[in-house]
Structure formats: structure tokens, C-alpha cells
Amino acid sequence: MSFERSRQLVIVGGGPAGMAAAISARAAGVEEVTVIDERPHLGGQIYKQFAAGWKVLDPRRAGKEFVRGRRVIEEAERCGAEVMPGSVVWGIWGDRVAVYREGGDAGVIVAGRIILAPGAYDRPVAFPGWTLPGVMTAGGAQSLVKAQRVIPGRRILMAGSGPLILAFSAQIHRYGANVVAVCEAAPFPGPRRMLDLAAAAPGNFDLLADGLGYMSYLARKRVPYRYSHMIVRAEGKDEVERAVIARVDEQWRPVPGTEQSIDVDTICVGYGFFPSIELSRVIGAQHVYDEDLGGHVPVRDRWMRTTQPGVFAAGDGTGVAGSHVALEEGSIAGIAAAMELGKVTEAEADHLARPKRERLARLERFRSALNKTYPVGPGVYELASPETVVCRCEEVTAAEILDSLVADSSDPNGVKSITRAGMGLCQGRNCQRQIAALIARHAGKKIDELPVFTPRPPVKPVPIDLIAEERPEEAWITEVG
Amino acid sequence: MDRRLPTHGDVSRGETITIEVDGEPMAAHLGETVAGALMAEGRRVFRETFRRSRPRGLYCGMGVCFDCLVVIDGQPNNRACMTYVTDGMKVATQKGWGE
Amino acid sequence: MVIGGGLLGCATAYYLARDGMDVLLLERRELNREASGTNAGSLHFQILRQDDYSAARFAQLRPTVELHECASALWKGLEEDLQADLGIRRLGGLLVAENREQLDTLRRKVELENSMGVKTELVGPADIREICPGLSEHLAGADYHSEEGFANPLVTVPAFARAALKSGARIRLHCPVNAIDPRPGGRFRLHTGTGTVDAGRVVDAAGAWSGEVAEMVGLRLPLTARVLHVNVTEPRPPLLRLLIQHAGRRLTLKQKEQGNFLIGGGWPGRADPETEEKTTTHGSLAGNTWVAAATFPPLRNVRVIRTWAGQTASSPDLMPTLGESRTVRGFFAMQGGAGFTLGPVYGRLMAELVRTGRTSIPIAPYDPERFMATAV
């Protein structure tokens, strides 16, 4: 039998934004706060903790993020919020949050207010050979090394763009992974970009210092860092045996005649992240498209409200901006929820939120500078060849996708229906954008001019035994056709 | 083949246990995921796809892509990256949707 | 002129074009987006679950038996005709009873079906699990038809559309018809979202919107719209080969070749009256999957990965509509009634009617003016 409970505030996601929201909401007087996360512990991706049974003997050697993460996690655990780990929010109808626990129970929490903080996931980049074992996301590789101390392979190529691949490369190398080269798609930051970054530095010194530290580490270890280079192909029979890279122009398009083959058994791909917007879509919130934020993101006001009353959103799930921004946004959302629940006045809320808004503004300056240095090039969507599988789950190629368009349709939903692309277990997370990019290019439109796959619950696969319930039949309706 | 990194004294692994992979015993540590345990032994092919019989393994590592599917105790379609090992767990590489 | 890019419209366009007629199909949005593309693909050959198994009701249904027989033959040759894989699987269908009372109803249903030439048989509990392993041990029996099954609605309509285009038909998407004016000589002028176009004859194949279109020429086609919910699961190894329905509950259950289970049966969805956006409900998901798992227990640890809802419509007597208006000659209407199973037949018959004025199967019971009212 399923449960039905009610809570003043339900927070979906226990990463930095979700934890910060819980801490702030509790501090502002919200009595009933529940944080729901899929993983066994709080922390999200960036503060991923070691699993039970592992003992941290020297936290400082476990890395900066680990220590930072532990501080936030401990505060979240102490703040008086209820935590539901190992639990999946699979649908939201109005104020009803549907959740299940694998191997456990399922039910609905009727929420006074909801804060969505589901985070983001690595951008899936389709190129020939990307489905071979040995090709993995930079985030996946980093997590394997840091949280399980396992190397993904013997010779690793890191290919991507932005500060995170710099950080990941240095971090996993430090743990003992053999990173043979790093390919950064953006050009080497010239003096203009350097000045932008320096100008944005005040208040962001630790971010800058981290970056410089990683760069000098890789230089010291003689790990080649190639700017304006991208992965264009993975080769091998049943696993990766070689990577083919090429020089790219400012649009991230390969320059003919510059292909080079490198012997590696692992390719870590890190071209940014996509915000997890399945829940914000399912509730009917308005979204806008911003390539540098990761694509479609929910529209929000200064209190982190989405366009759906009662639902707030914070952190990378609203646009990828990193953990520091997530912490501040989460706090503001928590304060805003407390305000709407009548626990603090607007004046009090403004006062509580002020320092967070100030930090956000400083972080925003740095983020803009970074975006100018590492803008996403349209070439990231153009690496697939006609035979490249674009929908990994249903194994649908780029050619099949384009061939399925009938009578000058440019609707991804039609493609999905006919080819099954987007119908797999990942529910379109890994292919939807690439499909849109293929169709857009073919039809001479922009990605955000195309319809998206119609969003509906369940946003994650949900076991029938947990959600099936005998329901009364009203006047029955025969299935038509 | 052990791809487990030395821990430099900053963290200690969970207790050693034994799981079964395709009928053969394999050592693992509590606190590792099935994906971590398999990768640690250099076993990177987790399944063969349904339509084109192609090898797949770990891709996103965070439960989003559903590519790292393995059969666990007879049940197919389990994400190896989201399932923690337990002593005696029976893991099998998955063929298609788990014949 | 064919209005409507669903199964009925595309099939009609194909059969007309194949027989050499000049056809233009107008679709207000995209092909196969409404009922034709959102049903669960069942191919029904036994009578559907009714709430009335009286002789009178069956007498009313009798003419449709011929339609189903024709459909059965048509489906057998369709993949060859359209040169496409339509995902057809007809390995049998069971309409199950979970108790004595339902079984008695089925007994009566089988008698009536047999008397109309529908080849069904009543099977007991031991037999149903032999015909279909995995079914619940708590079932009392079932009505079995050996040729029921399913096909894939998502590829069937595009296949008809492609074949129509290949035969010389034209298709315009994003082209809603807003008004229809009579022209001299019994012709029609259609005012669409992208301009006007004249036609000698108009086929209204607009599904749930066919009433709206009929009104444009002053005809009344009463229709009740319904939004229906369907669930699809993750893929599993093959466990179920038949189409399963239930005598006392809303259920259709099938497993596709790709391994996914489709769970439907008529549970309600929701449609926003203004935007027409369809949403699915927690209640329908919970209730529909409960019936499915109670009937076929291996479903219990299978995961649902998607739900959708589609808008369908039916006329007051739940019968199909197919024919030419006597009041507005040259205007033809076709709609509903086991629309996926019978869609290809409707298309064929409508093409015959438009081309020759006659049909190979009597269609009087499906008269579009049988509700005897025209708009004032």
C-alpha cells in the first residue's frame, strides 16, 4: 500500500543547491523540510561521498571538494530536515510529489512548497565510436576515480572544454590515472580573455587559484594540453583502442587534414552539462534556451520561483553554473519558500538573502568571463556521421533519424514515433538534443525552434509493483482502436 | 587485472567480499558499485545490445544513461553504476534485454 | 481533398492516389499526432467489451463483423502493399474473466459472436495458461480469438503517407482548414491557414475534429471526445505473445517485438481545453498497471518508462461513420469505431465510394446523417 503524507517544504535533490535550501529554510523557521535524493547519501555529484564501509583517514588528502562537501553535508544533516535517501521523485502533479524507494515503499507527499534542485548531467556528444566501452563522460570517470579509487583504463584521453576538464584531468592524474593528453576545444585564451578573467577575479580568487594550480600541475607532469582540439572518432573492436582527434576552428568544426590518432583505451568526454529539466517541464513551467547554460532552462525570478506557483528551482538544474552558484541559489530558494510559507516577512527575507545575492553577483561576473572563454561551439552537434548511433538506447543512427522525416516535417516527436529514438530507458536524455540539432540543421531552423519531446511522468523508470494500486472504475470507456 | 588505485593512506576501502560474475567468483569491496568492481578488474563490456548486438559498458556513471545494464540475481536492466555490491551477489553480463 | 493526417486520412489518400485520383491531404499540424498516433495498436477481431450483451446490441454490431473480416484480410497484405514493416503480430487474443459472473457473460458473448460468424471460443482456466503462459492463476476463463494481435500505429500512418506520396498524392502540413464555402458546380473552396484551395470533393477525416469540419458545410456530426491514457514499460525478454483484454476491467495488454509492454484499456487522460495539451494522471497510471499486473503477474517488477494520452472520439451509438452526405453532395465523412483495426478498410471503402459512388461492403449503417440533424 502506498503512503500519503504532507510536508511544508519538499526539496528534490540533495546536492549543493538542495542542501543549502534545506539549511536556509530550516534557519528561516520552516518546521517540516524533506530532502529527497536518489543516491544513498547527500552530496549530489560534486560532493559525492564514499559509500558505507569506507573510512576517510585524512580528509585533507581527499581533496578540496570533499572537505567543502563534508562541511555542507554535516550542516544539512544537523539542520533538522528529514532526508529520504535512495528515493526517486518520478512525477509531480500540482502539489503532489510522487516518490518511490527502490525495494521499499512508494507514495505521495503533498507539499506546501517545492524546490527543484535536480542538478545536471554530462552533455552526451555523439561521434563515431562513442558507444564503445571505454568512452565515458568526464563526470563518470572522475566519480569512479574519486569515490571508488578505480581507474577506468590504462591510457586515458580527456577531451572536452572548460575549467572542469582541467580540474578533472589534474585530479585523476594526481590519484594515479595515466592521462596521456587533454584536448580542449576552445582556443588558447588570448590576452583579451585573460583580462576578462582577471577582471572577474575579485571575490573569485579561490576559483582562479584552483585553475592555475591545476594547470601548473599538468605542465609539471608533462601532460600535453592541446587547445582547439576535439575528439572526432573512437576506434576499436569491442572496446576503445584508439582515439582520433583533430584541430577545430572557433565554431568547433574539424579542420580537414588535421586528424591524428592516439593510442588510448579510454576517452573521457567533457563538453559541459545539461540541466535535468524533466521535472520542471512536467509541472508545466516555462523554459528558455541558452546554449551556454546547457540548453533549455526554467525561467525564474529573483526568488528562484518558476512560472508554476509554489515551485522553485535552484542549482545546476536551472542552468549549469557550478556548485558555488548552486549553494547561493539554493539558500535563496529556501528563504523564499520560508517567506511564502509565512515564516519570515519579505523584509526579513530580503535581509537574509542579501549576502547570498552579493556572492551570486560576484560569481556571475566570473561565470560570464568563463563563458566568453569557453563558449560552446555548434560543431559539438556535428560530429556524428550518418552511421553513428545517436539514440544509444534504441540504437538509431543519424541517417535513420533524418530519413524518417515525412513531407517536410521537422518535428522530433515524429522522428521519435517512427524510429524509436528517444523511447529507451534513458527517456531521451542522451539523444533528444542531438536529434533536434540534426533536424534543425537539415530544416534550416534553430534548435530551440523545434518542439521538444512531450514531457510526462514518470521522469524516471518506476517499478509497477510500487505504483500499481486498485482504483475504482468510473463509467468504463472502451479502448478505441 | 587490478585497476584499484593505492589509496595513499587517506582513505581505507570497505571490507573484501566475493561476488559472482558470469558464474565465476570475483573479489570486490563493500562500498564499490557493480560498475566499479567490474572496471577494477578490467571488465569493461557489461552487455550486448538488443538490436545490433554491440558491446556496451560504463558511460555516464551516474544513473542517467541506462547503458551499464547488467543482470543481478536473475533480474535484467540494472544499472551497474547505481548498484552497490553485496556479498554473494550474482552478476551476469546482459544479452539483449536479458534472455 | 482529404482533411486530416491520421490513419483514416492517409489511408484514404493512398487508396485514392493509387487508383489514379488527384489527392491533396491537408493536416492542421503534423501527421499521426492525435488518436491515430496515440492508441495502443491493438488489432481487435472479437467483439470489444460491451456494457450491454443483449441481442439488440449485437444486432447493431453485426454489420461491423464484415468490416472486421475485410480488415483481417487487408492487414495480411498491407506490409507488401506499403513496402514497410508495420510491426504486425497476430498470434491470438484472450479476453479474460476473473470470476464466475464474468465468465457467464463471456459464454453469452461467444454464442452471439459465433452466431455472427466471428470465430471465437470460450476457454477454461487450464487452457488459458496453456495458450498464454504467465497469466494469473486466479482467472476463471477467457474468450479466445486466434487472429487477434497488434501492429504499430506509429509506423503505419507514415507508411500510408509515404505510399500515398509515391502514388502522386500531395500532403500539406501545418495547414488547418478554417472554413469551407460552396462553389458553383458542386465544388468547394477551402480557406486554410496558408491560403485558399478548391476541390471537387472533400473527405472529412479529421477524427475528433470531424464534427467541427462537418459544421463548416452545415452538417452535424455529434461526437464525444475522450482522452485516453497509455503506459509503456521497459523492454524485457519475450514473455507474452497474445493481446490480453479483460471482461470486467479496463485493460489491453501486449508485449511488442522490441520487448516493451503496452498497457492501455481506456483509462482517462486529460486535455487542456485551450492548448489541447494532453496530460496523464497518477490515478490512471496506478489503476491501469494494477489491473495489468493482477492479470499478468510477471509485470510486477517491470518498470513503466513512459505514459501518453491521446484524444479520440466516438459517435453516440459507438458505431463508425462512413459515407457521403445527401444534403451536401461531394462531402464525405469518415470517423472512428475501432479506428486502428478498421482504418485501412475505411480508407479503402472511402476511396471506392469517392471514385465510383459504390462500395463493396454495405455502409448504410454508417450513414453520416443517421443522427438526422443539420446545423441551422
- CATH number for the domain harbouring residue C310: 3.30.9.10
Judge if C144 and C229 occupy the same domain: yes
Q: Indicate where chain A has its CATH 3.50.50.60 domain(s).
A: 2-121+274-344, 126-270
Domain that holds residue C340: 2-38+154-222+317-374
The answer to whether residue B74 is domain-embedded is: yes
Q: C40 or A197: whose pLDDT is higher?
A: C40
Residues above pLDDT 90, as percent of chain A: 83
Cα–Cα distance measured from residue A311 to residue C258, given in angstroms and rounded to the nearest whole number: 38
Judge if C218 and C228 occupy the same domain: no
Please provide the CATH number assigned to the domain covering A2-121+274-344.
Answer: 3.50.50.60
Answering whether pTM is above 0.90, one says yes
Contacts of C227 (CB under 8 A, 6+ apart): C268, C269, C270, C271, C278, C309, C310, C311, C312
Using an 8 Å CB-CB cutoff, list chain B residues near C258. Answer: 50
The candidate with the shortest Cα–Cα distance to A283, out of A262, A309, A320, is A309
pLDDT at A334: 98
What's chain C's average pLDDT? 94
pLDDT band per the 50, 70, 90 thresholds, residue A475: low
> What DSSP designation does C89 have?
B
What's chain A's average pLDDT? 94
Number of domains in chain C: 2
Per-residue model confidence as pLDDT tens digits over A50-83: 988 899 988 877 777 888 899 999 999 999 999 9
pLDDT at C373: 55
Using an 8 Å CB-CB cutoff, list chain A residues near C160. Answer: none
* 8 Å CB contact of B32 and A148: yes
Whether the CA torsion B7, B9, B10, B15 is positive or negative: it is positive
The answer to whether residue B9 is domain-embedded is: no
* 8 Å CB contact of B62 and A176: no
Mean pLDDT for A282-291 is: 96
CA distance C376 to chain A (A): 31
A423–B contact, CB cutoff 8 A: no
The answer to whether residue C63 is domain-embedded is: no
* 8 Å CB contact of A429 and B52: no
The answer to whether residue B47 is domain-embedded is: yes
> Cα-flanking dihedrals φ and ψ of residue A154, to 5°?
-90, -30
The answer to whether residue C351 is domain-embedded is: yes
User: Among partner residues C235, C258, C301, which is closest to B75 by beta-carbon distance?
Assistant: C301
CATH number, domain containing residue B69: 3.10.20.440
Per-residue model confidence as pLDDT tens digits over C191-218: 999 999 999 999 999 999 999 999 999 9
pLDDT at C338: 80
Q: C337 or A225: whose pLDDT is higher?
A: A225
Using an 8 Å CB-CB cutoff, list chain A residues near B77. Answer: 425
Cα–Cα distance measured from residue A440 to residue A447, given in angstroms and rounded to the nearest whole number: 5
Mean pLDDT for A147-155 is: 96
Using an 8 Å CB-CB cutoff, list chain B residues near A429. Answer: 64-65
Number of domains in chain B: 1
Per-residue model confidence as pLDDT tens digits over A230-256: 999 999 999 999 999 999 999 999 999
Position of cell 488547418? C176
Judge if C229 and C342 occupy the same domain: no
CA distance A193 to chain B (A): 31
pLDDT at B95: 98
| Topology (CATH level 3) of domain A379-449 | Arc Repressor Mutant, subunit A (1.10.10)
Q: Return the exposure string of A95-112: e unless at least 16 CB atoms fall within 10 Å of the residue's CB, then b.
A: bbbbbbbeeeebbbbebb
Domain that holds residue B36: 16-95
Q: Residue C52 pLDDT > 90, yes or no?
A: no
Judge if C198 and C169 occupy the same domain: yes
The answer to whether residue C131 is domain-embedded is: yes
Q: Residue A479 pLDDT > 90, yes or no?
A: no
The answer to whether residue C18 is domain-embedded is: yes
* 8 Å CB contact of C237 and B76: yes
* 8 Å CB contact of A477 and C268: yes
End-to-end CA distance of chain C: 25
The answer to whether residue C83 is domain-embedded is: no
| Cβ atoms of residues A275 and A117 within 8 Å | no
CATH number, domain containing residue C356: 3.50.50.60
ipTM: 0.97
pLDDT at C50: 86
C303–B contact, CB cutoff 8 A: yes
Mean pLDDT for C352-376 is: 85
Superfamily holding A126-270: FAD/NAD(P)-binding domain (3.50.50.60)
Cα–Cα distance measured from residue A55 to residue A61, given in angstroms and rounded to the nearest whole number: 13
Distance of CA A163 to the CA centre of its chain: 15
pLDDT band per the 50, 70, 90 thresholds, residue A481: very low
A71 burial class (0-12, 13-18, 19+ CB within 10 angstroms)? exposed
* 8 Å CB contact of C235 and B50: yes
Q: Indicate where chain A has its CATH 1.10.10.1100 domain(s).
A: 379-449
